[in-house]
Amino acid sequence: MQIFEVVELFEFPYMETREVVEGQIVGDILNETSNEKVYLLIDHDTKRIWAFNGLKSSFKVQIYGGILAGMFRQQLRLFYRVYPLNMYSKEDPEFQKLLDKPISGGRVISIKKKDFPEPSPDKYVGSMAVSNPKINKALEYISEFPQPDNFIRRFMIVGGSIFIDEEITEAFLKEEKITSKPNKLGRLNNGFTFFQDHNYSTRLIIKERNIQGIELFIDEDDTSPVFKIEIPVIKEDKFSKPGSIKSLIQAFQIPKQINFPEEKAKDT
């Protein structure tokens, strides 16, 4: 396993990599000291390039990491594919398996300033679509990502719709099981919306250069007042509404006697 740190430069090409040679295993590098860094891991056993973005790493450096991962892929003649390591939580078996892999040499050469051609306008600016994704597909994809440690998701925007997390009872026959699922509040109105009631941390979920959703998190120790909706939202009616189980049972019961209205009784 080769590991490269993404390094920001203050002049063109604004990025390069530094091969990590210290440490015996990946876990010696990816730990509590890597929160502000971006790493690219070249796994020669599985032919994968893993992109790791520290929780507090610069958004700009994360973008650079995506560009440099593509350049590493060119070095490897496109036989390797790029995968986001942040797809897994730290407790996930896939993540833990990578942490135990030894750091060793390989045929990948660190990317330096000299490896970039002369600058041309917008050459290294990646295009990213902001078209509305399919809501259900986007929610399914977003749910695959683990929630950041020590953060609470306040709400999420997919397309033009806004969601909050809602606790739902999934089973109660044997034992009560409660899960948290996104609940659609409504559709954002035209114009713009400020999110200033909390100190938000924002996470973008990207798939194939398309933004799937925007999540806004707060620190779990945030003592601000309970979230109150003060943004323009167009309410949408729900097809399913809570009701009484007794009323449902009565709806299926056939009465022993049907009392007709007085006028119909005279006709009979």
pLDDT, tens only, 87-104: 898 889 999 999 999 999
81-84 and 48-53 beta bridge pairing: parallel
Give strand pairing partners of 168.
179
In 3D space, the residue among 26, 28, 22, 19 whose CA is nearest the CA of residue 106 turns out to be 19
pLDDT digits (tens, 9 = 90+) for 140-175: 898 888 888 888 888 898 988 888 888 776 655 566
The per-residue pLDDT for 239 is 47
Please tell me whether residue 99 adopts helix, strand or coil conformation: helix
Provide the strand spans (E) within the chain.
2-8, 15-19, 38-43, 48-53, 81-84, 151-158, 161-171, 177-188, 201-207, 210-219, 233-234
Q: How far apart are CA 98 and CA 5, in angstroms?
A: 16
Domain with CATH 3.40.20.10 in the chain: 2-115
CATH superfamily of 2-115: Severin (3.40.20.10)
Average pLDDT over residues 57-79: 91
pTM: 0.64
Beta carbons of 150 and 201 less than 8 angstroms apart: no
Q: How far apart are CA 167 and CA 182, in angstroms?
A: 9
The per-residue pLDDT for 122 is 53
